[in-house]
Amino acid sequence: MTPKPHIKRARRLRQTANLPEQRAWATLRTLRKHGFPVRRQHPIGPYVVDFAIVRERLVIEIDGGIHKLDEIALRDAERDEFLKKEGWQVLRIDASRAMDEDYLLKTVTDFLGL
């Protein structure tokens, strides 16, 4: 059985993660010990999100400088709207801030109410 295109894309993205995503993954994986397993490059509908905590229906997006461009920001807003309609909350974190393990962990745990 051939995987759906978005699953193939998710697999490829996992293999080519940039440095902020790699660091975020190393940090976010520690949430497992608190009962919050995190998935990376997780397909949701037609999209592949950076990270998802399925149990809480939380998407965590690591945004680099390209996300400040009007065209990309508009696409992000449309994507966020879709995700929200599907019952997901979206937490966007600047890539430079995601490199700071303490900041990232505090931001996500505060969001989760831990």
**Rounded distance between C-alpha atoms, residue 108 and residue 114, angstroms:** 9
- Residue 99, Cβ density class (10 Å: 0-12 exposed, 13-18 middle, ≥19 buried): middle
Whole-Å CA distances, 2 to 7, 8, 100, 112 = 10, 9, 38, 36
| DSSP conformation class of 45 | T
Q: What is the pLDDT of residues 5-37, one digit of tens each?
A: 656 554 555 455 567 888 999 999 999 999 999
pLDDT of residue 2: 43
Range of the domain at 12: 5-112
Q: What is the pLDDT of residues 42-57, one digit of tens each?
A: 999 989 999 999 999 9
CATH number of the domain enclosing 50: 3.40.960.10
Quick one: tokens of 24? Answer: 């975020």
Quick one: tokens of 36? Answer: 């919050």
Tally of structural domains, the chain? 1
Whether residue 62 has pLDDT greater than 90: yes
Q: Compute the mean pLDDT over every residue in the chain, rounded to the nearest whole number.
A: 86
